[in-house]
Structure 1
Amino acid sequence: MQELTVLRTLIGAAADLALGRSPRATRYDVERDIAVRMPDGVTLLGDRYAPRRQSGPMPVVLIRLPYGRAGAFGQVYPAPLARRGFQVFIQATRGTFGSGGQFRPFTTEHEDGMATLAWLREQPWCDGRVAMVGGSYFGHTQWAVAPYADPPLVCASPHITSADIAQRIFYPGGAPSTQTALGWSAGIGRQERGGLDALRPGKQNRLRRALDRLPLQAADVAVAGAPVPFWRDFAGHAAPGDDFWSGADHAAQVARMPPVSMVTGWWDLFLAGNLDDFTALQRAGVPARLVVGPWQHGEPAELKAAVNSDLVWLDHHLRGGPAPGGPPVRIHLQQSGSWLGLDLWPPADRIPTPLYLAPSGQLSGAAPTGDEDADRFTYDPADPTPTVGGPLLSGPGKQADNAPVEARDDVLVFTGPVLDADLDLVGPVGARVYARTSLPHADVFVRLCDVDPAGVSRNITDGIRRLDPRTVPATDVTVGADGVLAVDVELFPTAYRVGAGHRLRVQVSGGAFPRFARNHGTGEPFATATGGVRCTFEVFHDAERPSHLILPIL
């Protein structure tokens, strides 16, 4: 026992140093495999971390996750809290790491989470006060509980996640996020059969080969070695209007949240939903704080920021410690090496500024005045337009050299003049593209890039909108008398400095593969389609149809 305590102390000190904090040696005990029975009879297992000198009932920090209660996750989440005297209960979600039932992501977390919360409050070691922390999927498990808890949770920290996680992340703009979904399916499909999938040699190549092959319905077997229920749900419920994922959408309950602390990154795939949630929380009057750094999903600096934020947030709300200092919003202005403190998101002093597509591949701050003018390209699902970089579940992501994409004849490129001063873009980014397509089923992908003085084009932000006769016309797609569609595309929000001497560039194309499913042009479900039809695009930039972006200039 003494050897175990010494080992735990050493590991804890190393973890604290990795988190940038002074080592703490508060002693705690861990009670493993505590069974919690769900209303349907399934038993979920959890571990309780309790201060060794606990003299009576205490608050509980609840963490519910599908990735295991021990190992790396135990050292990153419950252990740092326990070393600082917090009582933690970490539970494996249904169907994972000893918990009964089947893991069907996003479908049972509300019922299981509420039952676990009720059980916790009945335990003699819990004083009735409960907080929740965690990111990504175990940010979702917070959204599934926090707005519904009665009495309310003391506070929550849903990092790198979204209140509407399934639709917002896996079908943005109606386009299935196949690379993210299949990559995650590979991870959860293998996690209890062979360790961390991220460390497997050739993971990305295996994933790409699986996405290249058609049909995609059984792509999970190619990457995980067996069917993965989530991939089958994702593939089978991608049609517009399918309400299968409605139970995972908690955005309507935002006003019922307790005080919230959020951490995310500009290259995190959950960013857009995370920021929408924060804006809604502020508008509803819910106390909320936000940190956005230059991070991709799950990278160490992002996790470090989340854990350190939790320590301060929990100390304040559970133990009466000092409130976090500074403005409620702290964001990194990329390419400037600086951080900004704001009172709200998006910033009130941004100036929404149009940037127009113009003839001869130009960008202009002035609206076009000429007669009908359009550029054309053809999208071929047999050779889908690729993408590089961007907000992905795992690398390589972030910024990348876009030259291979921009050289293709199925990508329109519009470039602006050299900037004579720095340009700071801080806030939401949107585009309106006036387009006529030869097929009713098509995608419109828009990307904003930063072109440096050497001519290297690197992505800043992007977005996609899937056109489907079942969803056109809509609030974001209108049809003109001439059949030209006005397509509004939501790009990821950003905080980015385009330096003096650089130029802005906009790409318009018919896809971004393998990040999003190729559009077969036939209307067949993406999972079962095996062929496809080429689609011709006309993109207009004239006085009557001024395709443009709206940039948030600070």
Structure 2
Amino acid sequence: MMSRSLLIEKDVPCRMRDGVTLYANSYRLNDQNTYPVLLTRVIDGKDSHLFRPTDLMKLVEKGYVVIVQDVRGRFASEGTFTPFSHEEEDGFDTIEWAVHLPYTTNKVAMFGEAYSAYTQYAAAKAAPPHLSALFPIHFVESKQAFSHRNHFLNSKKVIDTALSLTKNIIEKREMETEHKRDQLFHLFAYQDRQEALYRYHPIQKLPVFKMLGVQDLFTTLIETSPVETDSLTYPPSYFLTGWFDDALSHTLRAFQTATKQDSDRHLLLVGPWTGNRLEMPQPFGYTAHIDSMANGGSVTDFQLRWFDRWLKDEKNGVDEDAQVLLFVMGINKWRKEKTWPLEQDEQRHVPFTFTTVETPHPFSLMQSRDDKQLTFISTPFQDIHELIGAPSLELDINQGEKVESFYIRLLAVPKDGAAFQISDGLVTVSEEILDENTLKIELSAVAYHFKTGDRIKVEVTNVPNHIYRPHSESSVESSLLALAPCFFRQHTKFVLPIATQPLR
């Protein structure tokens, strides 16, 4: 078989409607044929971006033109970078430019993770006629979704992001080399002591960003913005996320919105991963690895099947794939489903109480506590319980009690292993959200298989303020001693959505 050479073109210009030029790298087969386009738009540099989940060269070898573009104001591209701005019109213009290149067809798909997943959403909102499919990893639909969680600012995340973006901003400034070197030195010095930055109050006056001349960038990241509602008709979209991912809830909601529009053209895959690079916080076995997912191949293999279906119209079995593919921790197997969440007849809701009185369910939670944490641990399970969905806490709080905010974690306690966190939730209490003195809290979604002898643990602490900040720096955290009695009231219960047909 004759080998085919690849052609790489660097800094290909793409002019936006306002005259700003963005630059991209183009990867394609070195022949006279035309191919569909796979586009990703990145903020961390088209020449330095780490494509760990995706093998670009494999995409090219399988008959695609891959275009990697620096978004506005980043690295080679002109203009000023303002996070989560310009991506609709720039995405639209880039897609329409790409289909008129001499070596491309009239079909484009987008891929990428984190901010590059947002650029897919933004471009799709502009409804470009040649956008045929999406493959977002760690999807968020807005700046608010990126920077906030349940009314709390993820201060650690925005500080890390602002610092990571600052280096390129300094490098692009027109100034004397010595002055630029001095600014970079200060940036690296602050990065060496980031832990101290996480605890600075008030966060709005954190001096590092003003000193480095990027205060506007930081202010944009930390300020609240209206919560966006989906206002697009999703093209065929394959949503990929992880149980430990900050973007999990946004990805699940986007998938649900898309399937309501057209249930046959969207897929969801959730693995035991965290972070942009699909890392595993625990060893979950071979089939959880991103190079051998569900024994179906690598992330790139999944992407290729998706793109081949929608850009090349190949009948490759994608239409018969399970619409939802979930990794179930505890048993370390993949579960195929038709919907998310599970259909009503496929799950039951199992309540746990925090009291010692008898309840319809035999697993009562018992309490141990100190002044920093409330801990509740269940009696061992007597049979298999497969948790699929979002656990919830219904907390009985009397009006006027000094309960403002707290953090709750759900941990699996295997019979033969150490406990580890599988779900969590941040809670802000206000009179507006209390329903007749009952506070209903939904934790992050999860899939976990509890075997006979396993237990669950619930830990309640103050909100970790080196990670999350409330809207007001003057907010008072709940006293755990004041919170404790709430758990022992009649109507307080912890509810697990349990699959009626667990894996074996």
Q: TM-score, normalised by structure 1?
A: 0.73
CA–CA distance in structure 2, aligned partners of residues 43 and 223 of structure 1: 28
Q: Identify which of 334, 347, 364 aligns with 1:351.
A: 347
Match for residue 219 of structure 2 among 222, 226, 232: 232
Task: Note closer, same or farther for the CA distance 1:151–1:201 as it changes in structure 2 (3 Å cut).
Answer: closer
Q: Does 2:156 match 1:210?
A: no
2:285: which partner in 1? none
One-letter amino acid of the structure 2 residue matched with residue 409 of structure 1? D
Contact 1:64/1:90 (8 A) holds in 2? yes
Tell whether 2:402 aligns with 1:425. Answer: no
Name the SS for the 2:391 alignment partner.
strand
Structure 1 residue 125 corresponds to structure 2 residue 81 = no
Instruction: Please list, as runs of the form range in 1=range in 2, the aligned pairs for 1:131-530 lying within 5 A after superposition.
Output: 131-162=109-140, 164-190=141-167, 206-219=193-206, 221=208, 227=214, 229-235=216-222, 237-238=223-224, 242-243=225-226, 249=228, 251-253=230-232, 256-286=233-263, 287-299=265-277, 304=291, 305-321=298-314, 322-324=316-318, 326-348=321-343, 349-359=345-355, 366=361, 408-436=370-398, 442-453=404-415, 456-467=418-429, 472-473=431-432, 477-478=433-434, 480=436, 484=437, 486-517=438-469, 519=470, 525-526=471-472, 529=473
- SS of the residue corresponding to residue 296 of structure 1 reads coil
Summarize the Cα distance change of 1:542–1:335 in structure 2 as closer, same or farther, 3 Å threshold: closer
SS at match of 2:303: helix
CA-based RMSD: 3.5
Counterpart among 83, 86, 94 of residue 116 in structure 1: 94
Q: Which residue of 2 aligns with 1:68?
A: 45
In structure 1, what is the equivalent of residue 492 of structure 2? 547
1:223–1:346: structure 2 CA closer, same or farther, 3 Å change rule?
A: farther
> What secondary structure sits across from 2:243 in the alignment?
strand
Cα 1:220–1:422 shift into 2, 3 Å: farther
Task: Assess, with a 3 A threshold, how the Cα gap between structure 1 residues 549 and 65 changes in structure 2: closer, same or farther.
Answer: same
Looking at structure 1, the residues matched to 204 and 35 of structure 2 have their Cα atoms a distance apart, in angstroms, of: 48
8 Å CA contact retained: 1:261, 1:288 = yes
Cα drift, residue 461 of structure 1: 0.3
Cα distance in 1 for residues equivalent to 2:370 and 2:254: 37
Q: 1:253-303 deviations in whole A, cap 9, x for unaligned? A: 2xx111111221111111111112112222222411222111111235676
Separation of aligned partners in 2, 1:117 and 1:306: 23
- Report Cα offsets for 1:425-465 as digits up to 9, x if no partner: 01222222233587888223222122344795422201113
Distance, in Å, in 2 between the alignment partners of 1:316 and 1:337 is 29
Query: Is the contact between residue 408 and residue 459 of structure 2 (CA under 8 Å) also seen in structure 1?
Result: yes
Deviation at 1:553, TM superposition (A): 0.3
Percent identity between the aligned chains? 22
**How far, CA to CA, are the matches of 2:190 and 2:9 in structure 1?**
36
The answer as to whether partners of 2:36 and 2:108 remain within 8 angstroms in 1 is yes
* Whole-Å separation in 1 of the counterparts to 2:425 and 2:218: 23
Q: Residue 459 and residue 25 in structure 1: after superposition, are their counterparts in 2 closer, same or farther (change >3 A)?
A: farther
Cα deviation code 1:352-388 (max 9, x no counterpart): 424344237x9966599xxxxxx9xxxxxxxxxxxxx
> What amino acid is aligned across from residue 94 of structure 2 in structure 1?
T
Q: Aligned equivalents of 1:211 and 1:455: distance in 2?
A: 32
**TM-score, normalization: structure 2?**
0.80
CA contact (8 A) 2:244 2:422 kept: no
How many Å separate the matches in 2 of 1:437 and 1:459?
31
CA-CA distance at 1:167 after TM superposition? 2.7
**Would the aligned equivalents of 1:147 and 1:258 in 2 still touch at CA under 8 Å?**
no
Is the contact between residue 139 and residue 251 of structure 2 (CA under 8 Å) also seen in structure 1?
Answer: yes
8 Å contact kept, 1:358–1:364: no
Q: What do residues 120-152 of structure 1 show as CA deviations (whole Å, max 9, x unaligned)?
A: 234343332111111211111111112432425
After superposition, the Cα gap between the structure-2 partners of 1:427 and 1:218, relative to the gap in structure 1 and judged at 3 Å, is: same
Letter in 1 for 2:497: P
Q: 1:37 aligns with which of 15, 20, 25?
A: 15
Comparing 89-98 with 111-120, which one deviates more in the overlay? 111-120
- State the Cα distance separating 1:412 from its structure 2 match: 2.2
Q: CA deviation at 1:347?
A: 2.1
Q: How does 1:36-55 map to 2 (within 5 A)?
A: 36-55=14-33
Aligned residue in 2 for 1:9: none
Alignment-derived partner of residue 178 in structure 2:
none
